[in-house]
Structure 1
Amino acid sequence: MNHFSILRYALLSGIITINVTLVSAQSFITEGKWRGVFHQPNGTDVPFNFEVHGKSAAAAKIYLLNGEERFETGQPVQKADSLFIPFDQFDTELAFKAGDKQLSGFFRKKDHTGRTIPVDATFGQLYRFDEKGEKPAGDISGKYDFTFKSENGKEDKAVGLFNQKGNKLYATFMRVTGDSRFLEGVVTGNQFFLSAFIGGGVAYHTGTFDNTGQLTGKNFTGVKNPEAALPDPYALTYLKEGYKTFDFSLPGVDGEKVSLKDDKYKNKVVIVTIGGTWCPNCMDEAGFMAPWYKKNKNRGVEVIGVQFERKADPAYVKNAMENFKKRFGIEYTEVFGGLADKKAVAESFPALNTFLSFPTILFIDKKGNVDKIYTGFTGPATGQYYTTFIKEFNGEVDKLLGQPAS
């Protein structure tokens, strides 16, 4: 081979090598299960799990795995060797430098404001927390009275629902405002570890337990109590004295005003939900309400979702509400209530004695009178409490539908 041939061969080889490198860099990440780890500023590593389906970013579906839940992310976007996994309802994203079986990057807001959290992920790691520790010192399944204490000393009461299977642990915390959704972790020795992630923030709880039935953590104590209970959710929010009805005139995504006095709602049972597209418990509520409405809309019942958002910019609001509608298949009317501030909500609806939680659900009879108000939401993670809510919800609607319009 002469020098020209050698040079020509080398150049061709280089071109071929470059092309292969570019194709490899732009190939999508491996399908299957991944384990990610958030590296918190305080030195704590918090794990989460996700699953990838699809061989390209445009066709892929990615699911966050927490307990029995598979929570779909937004559509991933790939640019060269960068992979962005958006969480549209929270205005956040995972921004990775992508390798075939290894990712590294940050969890951050889409607009790049605020702090970022370093995160990496590895393909094929099926565990969540390291399970190579001691065998569990006991079974901490059960119901607990929890007291959480903030740095300023403020106490927050909750009911903890724990379900242990071997060294696997599943839990949720119920508060008057709603539940903490699906937490997953392990028990090793007399320690327990729990985490959850769906894109809004990183949830992490760890503590110890003793043989007296008490759980102890840095900012909480939990005492086992089979009778642990929260205040009646139907007794927390109600109409002020002198009020019987509830009304508003608020714009839909296209600006048209909607009022309970519109002909569409006359002589019908109306369910009004006050929430926000950014709110995890509101997502659970919409996950119930959307299919329920499809099944029951021909019975003389209507639903209005009043959304309070983090920004009042019309383009932002329209995008957020339309994404929410698409995600849950919502066919009932949605309107924009204003900024997501509980005090502002209470001022917007002066008939209410207070406003404690996104979501809050109002049941309105055919005459336009408010019959009941449900504060918060007990979602699928609460098991029997969710089942009870559905039963009570259907019972209340059936009762109102059976009443005369006048």
Structure 2
Amino acid sequence: MKITIAFYCLLISICLSSCSEKKTEINQSAAPANGIWRGVIALPESQLPFNFELQPDSKGTYTVFLINAGERLALDSVIVSGDSIHIPMGFFDAQITAKVNEQSMEGYWIKNYAKDYKIPFKAEHGKDYRFENASQSTTANVSGKYAIRFADRPDSLVSVGVFEQSGSKVTGTVLTRTGDYRYLEGVLDGQELKLSTFDGEHAYVLTGTLQGDSILNGKFISGKAKARSWSAVRDANASLPDPGSLTFLKKGYDKVEFIFPGADSGTVSLQDPKYKGKVVILQLFGTWCPNCMDETKFLSPWYDKNKDRGVEIIGLAYEKKPELDYARSRVQKMKQRLHVHYDFAIAGTSDNEAAAKTLPMLNHVMSFPTTIFIDRQGNVRKIHTGFTGPGTGRYYEEFAEEFNQFTDKLINEENKLEASRK
């Protein structure tokens, strides 16, 4: 009898051991495969395809690289736990959370700051294409510059599309008065133009039909917003209004004044002795804004290189929530990720009308970012609306050259107050 009991105990032990081994195998197989993935976000009016690469790091976590045309945007601190993956969208207040196994993911893209902003997401490993069933060859070519008009805007408001085609692959961007669409990537499938971009905050799909020198029946989808109709005509001379003419001081004002809470503590004011007799650049921005991210990536190394020449930058943050602690936490995260060393203040919320009330000397705040250049005497010398980022190619290079020339001019001007004291 004792032998029989011992035999059954041994048998149960073997079975439990076998079950435990199988469970371990399941957990191991849940780890997502390294390499290229194809993601799809199910926007209300369109599927948004994009590609990303998943790489493990030495810390036991992963890094995701969002791939859009020439950009590889790193999202670190990705956590895989059991059958779940959590992908924070860099310093944007958004995330992807999904169930995961070796070959697939299924879950949601979520904007944490927005109410009920939760859109289905899924991904498959090993698929390096963007749009499904697209033709690999076409005799048509969409390359060039286009004057774009949206049906819900007056004819006078033109955007500029710039596209490059190699085979059937198309990359490019759209420049507007308030910024650009960053890095668009897709295909010309026969006569059908299909482009998309996803950077963690922007989620854009553009489609249209190429007919000769025109693009017709265009649809532009941005996140959960309703689709907008657009059309375009190839136009080598297409251009935007001067970004220095759109925002200006109201009559009777020649200076900007404010006192805002600092991003760390205390307050920030142009009356602070730190800024007296210096050139000051004010950056109206938000940490939720990809174009602002591009501008900050430009300004940060520029400031480190030029800060000893008598110039300061103050970033005025306009965030998605009014709570001071929330805004400060978002700005601190951005500063750390982008290694920014200039000053920041919490100016208000991202609503344009509310933002304009914080700086009543401006005719409006129509865009984030907006950049205000103040000379050594404290006078506003220029206000630049929007930003032309690196996704625009030569337009970004032209902006950088103009920026450097103008700031050099301001920096090299003599401080009249100091000169009068000599």
- State the 1:86 CA deviation: 1.5
Structure 2 CA distance for partners of 1:330 and 1:212, relative to 1, 3 Å: closer
- State the 1:373 CA deviation: 0.8
Q: How far apart, in 2, do the equivalents of 1:394 and 1:209 lie?
A: 39
Task: Report if the CA contact (8 A) 1:29-1:55 is conserved.
Answer: no
Q: How far apart, in 2, do the equivalents of 1:2 and 1:45 lie?
A: 63
- State the 1:217 CA deviation: 1.4
CA RMSD of aligned residues (A): 2.2
- State the 1:211 CA deviation: 1.7
**Alignment match of 2:283 (pick from 273, 282, 305):** 273
**Alignment match of 2:36 (pick from 28, 33, 36):** 33
Q: Which amino acid aligns with 2:382?
A: K
Q: How far apart, in 2, do the equivalents of 1:109 and 1:401 lie?
A: 41
2:409 partner SS: helix
Q: How far apart, in 2, do the equivalents of 1:321 and 1:200 lie?
A: 16
- State the 1:149 CA deviation: 2.6
Determine whether 1:229 maps to 2:239: yes
Determine whether 1:181 maps to 2:182: yes
- State the 1:67 CA deviation: 0.5
Task: Report if the CA contact (8 A) 1:57-1:78 is conserved.
Answer: no
1:362-400: CA deviations, max 9, x gaps?
Answer: 111111111111100000011111001100110011101
What is the total number of aligned residue pairs between the two structures?
A: 403
1:251-295: CA deviations, max 9, x gaps?
Answer: 112331111111111111111100111111100000101111111
Q: Which amino acid aligns with 1:189?
A: G
Q: How far apart, in 2, do the equivalents of 1:213 and 1:251 lie?
A: 50
Larger mean CA deviation between 176-185 and 18-27 belongs to: 18-27
Q: Which amino acid aligns with 1:293?
A: Y
| Partner residue, 2:355 | 345
Q: How far apart, in 2, do the equivalents of 1:112 and 1:236 lie?
A: 29
- State the 1:342 CA deviation: 1.0
- State the 1:318 CA deviation: 1.7
Q: How far apart, in 2, do the equivalents of 1:6 and 1:36 lie?
A: 50
- State the 1:238 CA deviation: 1.4
Structure 2 CA distance for partners of 1:83 and 1:314, relative to 1, 3 Å: same
1:73-97: CA deviations, max 9, x gaps?
Answer: 2522333211111125442211111
1:79-133: CA deviations, max 9, x gaps?
Answer: 3211111125442211111101211112223479414322211111111113552
Determine whether 1:158 maps to 2:159: yes
Q: Which amino acid aligns with 1:393?
A: F
1:171 partner SS: strand
Q: How far apart, in 2, do the equivalents of 1:105 and 1:392 lie?
A: 45
Task: Report if the CA contact (8 A) 2:113-2:320 is conserved.
Answer: no
- State the 1:2 CA deviation: 7.0
| Partner residue, 1:217 | 218
Task: Report if the CA contact (8 A) 2:250-2:363 is conserved.
Answer: yes
**Alignment match of 2:295 (pick from 280, 285, 310):** 285
Structure 2 CA distance for partners of 1:138 and 1:250, relative to 1, 3 Å: same
- State the 1:361 CA deviation: 0.5
**Alignment match of 1:308 (pick from 318, 328, 339):** 318
Q: How far apart, in 2, do the equivalents of 1:37 and 1:316 lie?
A: 30
Structure 2 CA distance for partners of 1:273 and 1:55, relative to 1, 3 Å: closer
Structure 2 CA distance for partners of 1:304 and 1:10, relative to 1, 3 Å: same
Q: How far apart, in 1, do the equivalents of 2:348 and 2:25 lie?
A: 47
| Partner residue, 2:225 | none
Q: Which amino acid aligns with 1:35?
A: R
Task: Report if the CA contact (8 A) 2:324-2:346 is conserved.
Answer: no
**Alignment match of 1:325 (pick from 330, 335, 349):** 335
Task: Report if the CA contact (8 A) 2:62-2:76 is conserved.
Answer: no
Q: Which amino acid aligns with 1:33?
A: I
Q: How far apart, in 2, do the equivalents of 1:369 and 1:340 lie?
A: 26
1:54-80: CA deviations, max 9, x gaps?
Answer: 158843211110001011225223332
Task: Report if the CA contact (8 A) 2:135-2:168 is conserved.
Answer: no
TM-score, normalised to structure 2, is 0.90
Task: Report if the CA contact (8 A) 1:147-1:222 is conserved.
Answer: yes
Structure 2: where are the runs of 5+ without partners? Answer: 220-228, 417-422
1:196-254: CA deviations, max 9, x gaps?
Answer: 11111421111111124344314110111000000000111111222221121111123
Q: Which amino acid aligns with 2:160?
A: V
Q: Which amino acid aligns with 1:36?
A: G
| Partner residue, 2:51 | 49
Larger mean CA deviation between 327-336 and 249-258 belongs to: 249-258
Larger mean CA deviation between 44-53 and 357-366 belongs to: 44-53
The within-5 A match list for 1:107-256 is 107-110=109-112, 113-130=115-132, 132-133=134-135, 135-150=137-152, 157-218=158-219, 219-256=229-266
1:76 partner SS: strand
Q: How far apart, in 2, do the equivalents of 1:144 and 1:68 lie?
A: 21
Q: Which amino acid aligns with 1:332?
A: Y
The within-5 A match list for 1:12-27 is 12-22=14-24, 24-25=26-27
Q: How far apart, in 2, do the equivalents of 1:112 and 1:325 lie?
A: 22
Q: How far apart, in 1, do the equivalents of 2:132 and 2:105 lie?
A: 19
Q: Which amino acid aligns with 1:395?
A: Q
Larger mean CA deviation between 393-402 and 242-251 belongs to: 242-251
Q: How far apart, in 2, do the equivalents of 1:134 and 1:80 lie?
A: 39
Q: How far apart, in 2, do the equivalents of 1:48 and 1:367 lie?
A: 49
2:87 partner SS: strand
Determine whether 1:356 maps to 2:366: yes
2:209 partner SS: strand
